[in-house]
Amino acid sequence: MGQDAFGARLAAATAARGPLCVGIDPHAALLGAWGLDDTVAGLESFARTAVEALADTVAVLKPQSAFFERFGSRGVAVLERVIADAQQAGALVLVDAKRGDIGSTMAAYADAYLGDGSPLAGDAVTVSPFLGFGSLRPAVDLALATGRGVFVLALTSNPEGAAVQHARAADDRRVAQVIADEAAAVNAGAAPLGSVGLVVGATVGRTGVDLTAVNGPLLAPGLGAQGATVDDLRVVFGDDLSAVLPTTSREVLGAGPGVSALRDAARRQIDGLRAVIG
């Protein structure tokens, strides 16, 4: 692909634009709040407005693929345009698809979301490791080969997640710790950050999982509408927040549909995070 590693590009983007990822989550209620119909036309208007307002302002945009996929091929076509337009405006794009499978199927998902030439390939994709971290190898390998990244689910904010993520592996480590350690092994020696990140909810509190050696970005959803504040980041991640990438959706998108209002909402979030993270 001829570009720097994702971890390095992400570090540069957050240094320049601030440590914020904004989700593009065009669910029916939000379309309605913007005065849009719950149709492909409404989806496209919403998504293109969000890109216009935010892609030249925030470091990372995170379209949630499910809200596009629910409209079938026409919705996926809108997602493809969102990815291309956001990247053209300078934002990194994290496609929130949470894919996970084994063997050739995982390889096909990797081709779709990480392969050069795929219209669904952003700069990174979210993946699920709960078929075993090793099942993600096709995605990890392709991401590293193309200068893209993966964000691996590790400690999610939904209450059901704890039953799996805090379960004990055969060596008595928590499953989430196993995931963190596997990511750290891939990222070893990378500077300033590796390209295998983790998803760790900003609302999960103290976890008993050591994230200090991951050496990759830590995506922290949950700011704003889900209840987390910037102060909660220190509870989850400790004093060193340099690798943390907070993400919010409704806290910014709720300011729409005006482009200026959306941009101002994002800048307020960035200013608040810079005061805590730097």
149 three-class SS: strand
Q: Alpha-carbon distance 183 to 213, whole Å?
A: 9
Distances in Å between the Cα of 100 and the Cα atoms of 122, 177, 253, 277 are: 17, 19, 28, 31
Higher pLDDT, residue 275 or 187:
187
Is the pLDDT reported for residue 31 higher than 90?
Answer: yes
| Both tokens assigned to 25 | 């989550």
151, 94 in Cβ contact below 8 A? yes
For the ranges 73-77, 218-222, 227-231, which has the lowest average pLDDT? Answer: 227-231
Residue 232 pLDDT class (50, 70, 90 cuts)? confident
Amino acid at site 241? L
Q: Which residue has the tokens 């400790």?
A: 238
Per-position b or e across 43-74, b if 16+ CB within 10 A of its CB: bbbbbebbbebbbebbbbbbbbbebbeebeee
Report percent pLDDT > 70 for the chain: 98
Q: Is 49 helix (H, G, I), strand (E, B) or coil?
A: helix
Statement: residue 226 has pLDDT above 70: no
- Average pLDDT, integer, range 5-10: 98
User: Each residue of 156-196: pLDDT tens digit?
Assistant: 988 899 999 999 999 999 999 999 999 999 999 999 999 99
Is the per-residue pLDDT at 207 higher than 60?
Answer: yes
pLDDT score for 225: 60
Structure tokens at 233: 């980041």
Collapsing DSSP to helix, strand or coil, 121 comes out as: coil
What pLDDT does 102 receive? 96
* Rounded Cα distance, 53 and 59, in Å: 13
Identify whether 62 is a catalytic site residue.
no
Homologous superfamily of the 6-277 domain (CATH): Aldolase class I (3.20.20.70)
d(CA 90, CA 17): 10
Backbone angles phi, psi at 95, to 5 degrees: -80, 115
Question: Number of H helices and number of E strands within the chain?
Answer: 12, 8
Give the HSE-up count for residue 49: Cα atoms under 13 Å, Cβ half-sphere: 23
The pLDDT value given to residue 82: 98
- Overall average pLDDT of the 1-25 stretch: 93
Options 27, 48, 81, 98, the catalytic residue: 98
Eight-state DSSP code of residue 242: T
Does 37 score more than 90 pLDDT?
yes
Is 130:169 a contact under the CB 8 Å cutoff? no
* pLDDT tens string 82-124: 999 999 999 999 999 999 999 999 999 999 999 999 999 999 9
Distance from chain centroid for Cα 4: 19
Burial class (CB in 10 A: 0-12, 13-18, 19+), 231: exposed
The mean of the pLDDT values for the chain is: 94
Reading the block at residue 102, the tokens are: 């084994």
